[in-house]
């Protein structure tokens, strides 16, 4: 199984706005498989195509404890959010090692195509609802650290740039 490279913040490509998926076909199914493999390998609960440098409206999620409830959202649209919100700790495969509080709606309804090209409505709450909102942001070119204060964001940016440099240096010295 091909593993895809996950873009790391502050890579400017993470700020690309995704275009709709044109066709649910073999190419897309292959991409979905590779995205799931990449997400499970990285122990993440969600991955947006934006994060693997594919700028199409596609998300894979598995927010279950047993990692056995894969969910594919193609051309997703949030059609309802609960007025109740909560601040919860979030992380992101594109910002490894960083966790901080973000305010999200407690529950959402999202409409999306499935792998058969059929439109489905999903109702989500708790961790799944948070994950859907987080991944939907990626499709709009938004990373969760953008909800934090400029001071925190700049610290994270500096830390990430150093982390990427250190890794490149370690790889070169191997
Ligand atoms: Ni993320």
Candidates 56, 135, 146, 167; catalytic one: 135
Residue 74 — φ and ψ, nearest 5°?
-110, 130
CA angle, 102 then 130 then 29, to 5°: 130
Sign of CA dihedral 108, 71, 54, 100: positive
How far away, in angstroms, is 26 Cα from ligand 1 center? 26
pLDDT of residue 6: 98
pLDDT of residue 173: 84
Gap between the Cα atoms of 87 and 83, Å rounded: 13
How far away, in angstroms, is 109 Cα from ligand 1 center? 19
pLDDT higher than 90, residue 162: yes
pLDDT of residue 78: 98
- The stretches of the chain forming alpha helices (DSSP H) are 26-41, 126-139, 150-172
Residues 6+ apart with CB under 8 A from 75: 20, 21, 57, 58, 112, 113
- pLDDT tens-place string over residues 104-161: 999 999 999 999 999 999 999 999 999 999 999 999 999 999 999 999 999 999 999 9
- pLDDT tens-place string over residues 16-44: 999 999 999 999 999 999 999 999 999 99
pLDDT higher than 80, residue 81: yes
Q: What is the mean pLDDT of residues 59-86?
A: 97
How far away, in angstroms, is 94 Cα from ligand 1 center? 6
Nearest to 130 by CA among 93, 148, 103, 153: 103
pLDDT higher than 80, residue 174: no
Active site residue 135: yes
Nearest to 72 by CA among 116, 18, 38, 7: 116
Gap between the Cα atoms of 111 and 132, Å rounded: 11
Tokens of 154: 């700049």
How far away, in angstroms, is 30 Cα from ligand 1 center? 21
As a whole-number percent, the residues of the chain with pLDDT over 70 amount to 99
Give pTM, 2 decimals. Answer: 0.96
């Amino acid at each position: 199984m091909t593993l895809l490279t996950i873009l790391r913040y502050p890579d400017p490509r993470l700020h690309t706005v995704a275009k709709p998926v044109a066709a649910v076909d073999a190419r897309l199914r292959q991409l979905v498989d590779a995205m799931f493999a990449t997400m499970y390998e990285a122990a993440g609960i969600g991955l947006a195509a934006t994060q693997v440098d594919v700028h199409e409206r596609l998300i894979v999620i598995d927010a279950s404890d047993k990692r056995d409830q894969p969910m594919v959202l193609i051309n997703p649209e949030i059609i309802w959010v609960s007025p109740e919100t909560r601040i919860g700790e979030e992380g992101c495969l594109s910002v490894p090692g960083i966790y901080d509080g973000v305010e999200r709606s407690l529950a959402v309804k999202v409409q999306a195509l499935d792998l058969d090209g059929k439109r489905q409505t999903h109702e989500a709450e708790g961790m799944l609802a948070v994950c859907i909102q987080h991944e939907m942001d990626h499709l709009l070119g938004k990373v969760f650290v953008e909800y934090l204060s400029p001071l925190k964001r700049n610290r994270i940016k500096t830390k990430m740039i150093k982390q990427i440099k250190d890794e490149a240096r370690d790889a070169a010295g191997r």
